[in-house]
Amino acid sequence: MRSKRRTREPHQRYWGIDKNLIHLVSILVLGIAILIGLRYMNNSKLPATPKAPPPRQPTKLSKKLWEVFGSPRGKGLKATQNILAGQMILLEKPIIKLPSEPDRSAQAQLLFEKLSSLSDADRAEYFSLWNTVTGFPEDISQEQRLRGLALNIFESNAIRGSDRSAAVYKNAARINHSCRPNAVYHYRSDLGVLTIQAVEDIPTGEEILAPYFDASVRTREDRQKYLREAYSFDCQCEICSGNEAKVDESDRRRARLSNLTSVLVSWSDEKAEPEDAIAAIEEALRLLQEENYHASVGVWMANAATISAAHQDQDGVKHWARRAALQYIIETGRDSPEVAAMATILKEPNRTMSWGQRDARKLNIAEPMSPI
């Protein structure tokens, strides 16, 4: 788990959705909920979309909660005091931010321009980040070597944002991956900053670990293959290095979680009943709990709110929006757009973008919840 990522996660799909459209790691929290919403944005019969609240500054970090530490496997971040679930660990502006377009040469040119405008200190910091360069051909110039190194560092450390950007952050780049993370990345597109949120209590001295992708829906073999190909390391996190019986148990749950995401896609394609989709979400939440996986949980609840709204189940929307808001407070921060969005539809379920897109049904949520 302490190995550094070596190459940027390649173009891939998530729940059948082009992953370039959403953030590499943290923006998965909105995932399909937003995309389902977007499907219906052009439908003139829909009520007006709630007006987005103005951006709010995240709570200022009162003090530094972490330090960089070195290990034979590379640098990492560890807690210098007890951190509570839901606490923001880090808030950081990028030192380099580029459009995450597939055109590599255009991206490289932009990168070199941006690097030349950095301060000497930031440039030195940039070139101290992890890279996978093992050598250059002898017949290339010094400048070509430097450019090759710069691009490799970018591809090894950049984190994609939901605004189709990819950016390198000095401190967040030091965070190592785990398939059972205690923290998550969250890109605030409204502010252009990256935050790291604790998703469980992290005692002093413990390493801060965030997933480089949604590890909850992949078996160990699948994760290892992916991490080797995309980041060139063998994950040795507590799940990957557990005994075979535990790994089998974990694999069974994660394979099932992957299947359950398919049920939501089927519902989205009008090939599954909403009752089945809600049951899939409830099962997924149980499995995530059993797996002790606390990242990317809110998106399941937000999806349930979206499905309930499509079927005009007002109580269902309230139930799920409340749960999603509470979970998003942990995963994305109390002042995040995700929490604001859930709070809005909790108050006015019929303003959910998917409202009334399907036949009206009651989806087994009997108890309306009080507003938060």
Reported in sequence order, the residue ranges of the chain that DSSP labels E, i.e. its strands, are 13-14, 17-18, 66-71, 74-79, 88-92, 96-99, 159-160, 165-168, 183-188, 193-198
CB of 215 to Zn ion, least distance (A): 7
Residue 240: closest CA among 1, 32, 71: 1
188 or 218, CB closer to Zn ion? 218
Q: What residue ranges bind Zn ion (CB under 5 A)?
A: 179, 235, 237, 240
What is the spatial distance between Cα 338 and Cα 341, in angstroms, rounded to a whole number? Answer: 5
226 or 320, CB closer to Zn ion? 226
32 or 179, CB closer to Zn ion? 179
* CA 15 to mean position of chain CA atoms: 14
CB of 236 to Zn ion, least distance (A): 7
* CA 151 to mean position of chain CA atoms: 23
CB of 193 to Zn ion, least distance (A): 28
CB of 181 to Zn ion, least distance (A): 10
179 or 198, CB closer to Zn ion? 179
294 or 319, CB closer to Zn ion? 294
What is the spatial distance between Cα 77 and Cα 73, in angstroms, rounded to a whole number? Answer: 13
234 or 348, CB closer to Zn ion? 234
**Cα–Cα–Cα angle for 356, 361, 362, rounded to 5 degrees:** 125
- What tokens appear for 106 in the block? 């255009």
Positive/negative CA dihedral, 279, 280, 286, 289 = negative
The continuous run of DSSP H or E covering 198 comes out as: strand 193-198
- What tokens appear for 242 in the block? 């557990």
Phi and psi, residue 260, nearest 5°? -65, -30
CB of 227 to Zn ion, least distance (A): 7
CB of 201 to Zn ion, least distance (A): 21
Tokens 């070509």 — which residue? 144
126 or 212, CB closer to Zn ion? 212
Residue 18: closest CA among 164, 194, 158: 164
What is the spatial distance between Cα 27 and Cα 186, in angstroms, rounded to a whole number? Answer: 6
CB of 343 to Zn ion, least distance (A): 34
